[in-house]
Amino acid sequence: MLARIGAPFASPQHLFEIKWDGVRAMAYVERGAWRMHGRRRRDLAGRYPELAFLAGLPEGTLLDGELVVLQPDGKPDFRGILARENGTAERAAQQAKKLPVVFVVFDLLYAGGESLMAAPLHVRREALLGLVAAAGHPRLVASHGVVGDGLSLFAAVKEQGLEGIVAKRLDAPYRPGERGDAWQKIKAVQQVHCLVLGYEPDGERDFKSLIVATDVGGELRCVGKVGSGLDDQERARLRQMLFAARADRPLIDPGMPGRWIAPGLYCTVNFLEWTASGSLRAPVFVALVDEADA
Beta bridge partners of 5: 185
Contact 232, 206 (CB under 8 A): no
Give SS3 for 43: strand
Q: Tell me, what's the pLDDT at 292?
A: 45
Q: Tell me, what's the pLDDT at 291?
A: 55
Write down all domains in the chain, each with its CATH number in brackets. Answer: 2-187 (3.30.470.30), 190-293 (2.40.50.140)
pLDDT along the chain (294 residues), means of 10: 92 95 93 89 86 96 95 83 76 86 97 97 97 96 94 90 91 93 89 94 91 92 93 90 94 95 93 86 85 47
- Measure Cα distances from 257 to 75, 92, 198, 201, 282 in Å: 34, 35, 10, 10, 20
Contact 118, 172 (CB under 8 A): no
How many other β-carbons are positioned within 10 Å of the β-carbon of residue 176?
10
- Measure Cα distances from 205 to 99, 142, 237, 243, 248 in Å: 45, 51, 13, 9, 17
Q: Can you give the pTM of this predicted structure?
A: 0.71
Q: Which of 247, 283, 248 is nearest to 264 (CA)?
A: 247
Return the amino acid letter for 192. Answer: V
How many other β-carbons are positioned within 10 Å of the β-carbon of residue 65?
25
Helix H or strand E segment including 81: helix 78-86
- Measure Cα distances from 248 to 82, 261, 263, 264 in Å: 37, 8, 12, 15
Q: Tell me, what's the pLDDT at 150?
A: 95
Q: 37, exposed or middle or buried, with CB in 10 Å at 0-12, 13-18, 19+?
A: middle
Q: Tell me, what's the pLDDT at 21?
A: 83
Beta bridge partners of 168: 15, 183
